[in-house]
Each structure stands twice: as structure tokens, then as C-alpha cells.
Structure 1
């Protein structure tokens, strides 16, 4: 995979532990939307951006939960839990995990009932159950180290049940692209390279289509 990664010739990316520290400080210093949103947007634009992404995500998940048997969802890299709470309000049972202790503490204080929160990394989370859907919203492109990215993708795949969905937010260009010290986006080819041998079929890319943001959701279904 290294031949598809152009970042060796660019300014050095932060090590993953430095990225974790950066996000914990950011969650502590910024408000609900700005701490996990697009820093080029203001508060209200980010509020709309969150709502747009939630709508795209619900279109993909196509809610089928019923009160007696709610679908179980993992919000991997949940930050302060905005999407976790929104999915819980839609009837899902949701686990939110994040590497930021500050973000998880705030998310837990705002819990709405079907949502629970733990401090954990994407590559180390090991719950006693599988998920009907695993979602990683604008988080995997902040995993700067290739080995940690690989371990994260593989672990999220392992947590997705048969016929379940793995929904990963990223860009959709070939290979990988560095945008700064803590952001490297990866296209569908790199995800398919890892996930298809694990029994996942690619269901396509759903762009956000919000103010020029190039992100969107890659959807995979576990079929074997």
C-alpha cells in the first residue's frame, strides 16, 4: 500500500499519540459543533453540516429498529456524541467510543438513554457483541499512521455482524492525500483493498454535498 501514499514527500504528519492529544485539547477548548466540525465553518454552518451528515447517514442505515429489538450501532470516534445521541433518539442502541477523555465525559453527561460511552481507540475496542452497523464519521482520515489505520479498519470490520453495514466517512479520490499535519484522506480503493477480502461488498459512495466539502460515506455490507 505504501506506493499509493504520497505523504512521504510532504511535511511530516503528527504521530498518532500527538493526534490524540490534539483532539483532546480541541474538544476541551471548542464548543459542541466546532470541536468536531469543520473549522472553516462558523457555529451555525457546522450545525447545518451535522444535520446534513445525519440525514445522509439515516438514508444509508434505513432505520428498521423497533422498541423491543433496537439495532445495535457503534459510533466509532464519536467525539462529544452528537451523532450518537441523534441515532439513539431515532431508536438505535448506540455505543459511542472516542480516544478523548474530555469528549467522552461530556458525551456521557448528555446521554439520552439508549447511548453509552467509553474511552477507546478504534483499533482496540473489543465489546462482547457485534453490531448491526458500525459508523466512523470523519474520524479515519485523522488516523495518520498507516499501521494504526489498517488495524482500525480491520477491527471495525471484525465488529460488524453478517449482513451488517460498515459506514466510513472519507473522500473518494484515488490513493491517499495529505491535507495537513493531522489529516490524510483515503479513497474507496484503499478501503476496498482491505475490506473485500474480509467478506464485505462495496455499496458505493454518498457525498455530503455541503459547501464544497469533499467528504462522504463509503458503505460496505458484510456478506460472508
Structure 2
């Protein structure tokens, strides 16, 4: 298997499902605890959706948080172990589905908002997903994306699009075989929206209160007429 590929991303998350569930439910990840979890909840609520598709929902924490406010949520993930845990915890309609399934039109629904919370890690899969987002959204529907801030995540690497090896630095020792990810510059992220018939309305840079640096970047876009 190519170590820098879409397939390797899914393979790695399958291997690390159990420690990830523990990390999320025990709130072990500082940036999430301090900033990014509430940031994406607030962003979604600002769009006032009645229905949401959570793409790459993992063990379902975001779906549960949104459901608690009265929103109807469908969550999808390619990792069966994560969906199993999401179903057990409740709060949404959870389905095993890969991005390839979505791109192929196997997911038939129409929602007010699609949210991708740190779940857009690949190259072709992300472009393909953007290409079908409009078919999943109601008129004036919203797409929300939270991802690592490119200026922070770039590190010492060249500031250019490309595959990067993954790392579990700072995570529990139970994690292994980290997933690769495809780095995009801020310009590349911004360009994805108009390329696929979406108007970028807002961009937020939630700050980590300890470092005073962006913990992430959140894009809010809307279907164009």
C-alpha cells in the first residue's frame, strides 16, 4: 500500500479507532478541549440548520452535540468500528460510508448543512467530495469545513500543496501507524469553494488561548444560485 495515499488514510484510522474513541471521549486532546470543539459547534449553529450531514463523523461526538440542540443529524464514516460506537451512543443516524460512496452518489439525502470537522485529509477524495456537495444540500445550504491552519500545520516544510507523512506526536502511546494527509495552502483551500459552485461567506481562525496562535481555520460556504 502506498504510504502516502487515500487508502492508507482509511487503513490507519481503522487501526487506531479504539485509542481515538478513548481520546475523544476522555477529552485528551488539548486543542479540542480549549478551542476547536466549541468553535465548530458555534459555526454550525450560526447557520441555523434543521438538518446536518456530518462527514467523517468518527465516534459521533459532534452529531450528539448538535442533536442536543434539536438538529437532525446523519453521520457517515468509512471506519465501521467508529460508526458502531457512534450508534451505541446515539444522537444521530450513523452510516458506514466512504467518500468514494458519496462521490458515486450512493448517499441520497438533502440537508441544510454539511460539516467536515478535521475530516478532509486526502487529495482526490476531497476534490471529489466538493464536486458532489451541492447535490446533498438544499437551496441556500451551507458547507462548513474545519481543518488545521495551513500556516501553523506547514511547520518547516515548503509552503506548497502535497502529501505529508502523519504523526501521533503528543498522543497516547496506544496510537500507531499514523495516517498521511494532503497539505493545502490557504489559497488552495479558498479556491476549492468557487471551483465547485460554492460561495465562501466566512473564514474564522479560532485562537488557542494559551499560544495565541490559530488552532484551526473554519470555512463557511453556501450553495450559489
Alignment TM-score > 0.5, same fold: yes
TM-score bucket (shorter structure): 0.7 to 0.9
* Structure 2 residue 13 is the aligned partner of structure 1 residue 33: no
Q: Is the 8 A contact 1:33 1:47 kept in 2?
A: no
Per the normalisation by structure 2, the TM-score is: 0.75
**Which one of 113, 117, 129 corresponds to residue 137 of structure 1?**
117
Q: Is the 8 A contact 1:75 1:136 kept in 2?
A: yes
Q: Is the 8 A contact 1:172 1:205 kept in 2?
A: no
**Which one of 4, 29, 51 corresponds to residue 14 of structure 1?**
4
Structure 1 residue ranges (4+ consecutive) displaced by more than 6 angstroms after TM superposition: none
Q: Is the 8 A contact 1:131 1:164 kept in 2?
A: yes
Could you list the per-position Cα deviations for residues 115-164 of structure 1 after superposition, in whole angstroms to 9, with x for gaps in the alignment? 11011112422333211010000011x21xx3222112222343122211
**Cα deviation, residue 64, structure 1:** 7.4
**Which one of 29, 40, 46 corresponds to residue 57 of structure 1?**
40
Could you list the per-position Cα deviations for residues 186-213 of structure 1 after superposition, in whole angstroms to 9, with x for gaps in the alignment? 2443234333143311123212323556
Q: 1:44–1:85: structure 2 CA closer, same or farther, 3 Å change rule?
A: closer
Counterpart secondary structure, 1:62: helix
Aligned residues: 197
Residue segments in structure 2 that go unaligned for 5+ positions in a row: 152-158, 167-179
- Between the aligned partners of 2:34 and 2:83, the Cα distance in structure 1 is 21
**Which one of 146, 165, 171 corresponds to residue 142 of structure 2?**
165
User: 1:72-91 maps to which residues of 2 (within 5 A)?
Assistant: 72-91=51-70
Counterpart secondary structure, 1:124: helix
- Between the aligned partners of 1:95 and 1:44, the Cα distance in structure 2 is 23
Per the normalisation by structure 1, the TM-score is: 0.75
Q: What's the Cα RMSD here?
A: 2.7
Q: Is the 8 A contact 2:36 2:215 kept in 1?
A: no
Q: 1:34–1:177: structure 2 CA closer, same or farther, 3 Å change rule?
A: farther
Q: 1:59–1:28: structure 2 CA closer, same or farther, 3 Å change rule?
A: closer
Q: Is the 8 A contact 1:122 1:155 kept in 2?
A: no
